[in-house]
A and B are shown apart, each in its own frame.
Chain A
Amino acid sequence: MIPLKNKKAAASYAMISFYRIMMIIIVCLVFVACLWIQYSKPYDIRKIENAQIARKIELCLLGNNFVLAQEDFTEKRLNDCIKTDQDIFVNVTFGEKSLSSGKQELKVYCQIQNRVTGRYLPSCLSYNYTILNSNYQASELNIFLALDKNKKNVQMMPNK
C-alpha cells in the first residue's frame, strides 16, 4: 500500500483495491457458472427409450409366434415382459382388452400435455402394431408409454 498520510485517503484506497479484486472474482465466477449450467444439462433420451421399450413389449408378448391369442394376453404376461416402477406407465390394448402397469398418475400428466407446457412432464408416446389374433385376423396392438425419469433426463443436477 502506498503510505498515505491522510487516513481517509488510505481507507478509500484500500476499499477501491478490494472492490477491484472482488469485481474480477465475480466476473470469473459468472463465467464458471455459465459453463457449469451448460455442461450440467443432461441428455434426454426418453423418446428413444420409449420406442425401444414398446418394441420390447411387442416382441415379448408375441414370443416366437406371429400370433397373439387373447388368452395369452394377460397381466402376468405383461409384467413378465416389463417390470414397471415409479418412472413408467404402460397401457397395452389388444382387441377389446386393455392392460395397465406402473404409475397411474403419469397417464394424467400425459393427458394434460396438450394444455399445459412444462419441462418436467413425462415423455408420452403411443405405438400401434398390426398383428394376427388367434383367428389369424389382423388386429391392432396399441402400446401407450409414459416415461418419467425427469431427474436423469431433464433436471439440471450434478451428474450422479
Chain B
Amino acid sequence: MKKRGESLLSQSLVTWTIIGILIVSFLFFLNNSSKDPYNKKQILAKELCILMTPAKNNTVVTVTTDLLVEKQGINIVTKRYPQDPGYTYPCYANFTVTNEDGKAIIKIVS
C-alpha cells in the first residue's frame, strides 16, 4: 500500500473507532433507560406509600419484587442491593418492614 493510502486508512480507523465507541456507549445508555431501572425504585416507594397511608391497623402488605424495601424513620426506602443508597420517600404511615425469603412484609401498626 502506498504511504498516502496507509495514512488515510489509519486516520479513518481512528475516527471510526472513536465514533464506534460513542455509538456503543449511547446505545448502552438507551438500553438502560428503556428498561427504566432508575424509576423502578421511585415507583415502588410511592406505590407502597399510597397503599399504606389509608390502610387500617394490622394490615399486612407482602411485596415480591427484585428490589429491597426498608424503613428509615418515617421514610420508606427501596434499594436494588443492600449497599445501594436507594430511593427514599417520606410517608405518613406507621408501619414496620421485615424481609423474609426475598419478600418484604410490611405491617401497618398504630
Contacts and interface: CB of A to CB of B under 8 A. Distances in A.
Interface in B24-38: 25-26, 29-30, 33, 36, 38
Determine the interface band of chain A, counting residues with CB < 8 A from chain B: 20 to 34
A25 B89 contact: no
B64 to A, nearest CB: 22
Nearest to B25: A28
Contacts, number: 75
Interface residues of B, number: 36
B58 interface: no
A52 interface: yes
A15 B49 CA distance: 56
Contacts of B22: 24-25, 28
B92 to A, nearest CB: 6
Contacts of A1: 7, 11
Contacts of B109: none
Q: Which 7 A-B pairs have the closest CB atoms?
A: A52-B53, A2-B7, A52-B54, A28-B22, A56-B54, A45-B46, A55-B54
Interface of A: 1-3, 17, 20-21, 24-25, 28, 31-32, 35, 39-40, 42-43, 45, 48-49, 52-53, 55-56, 59, 82-83, 85, 87-88, 149, 152, 159-160
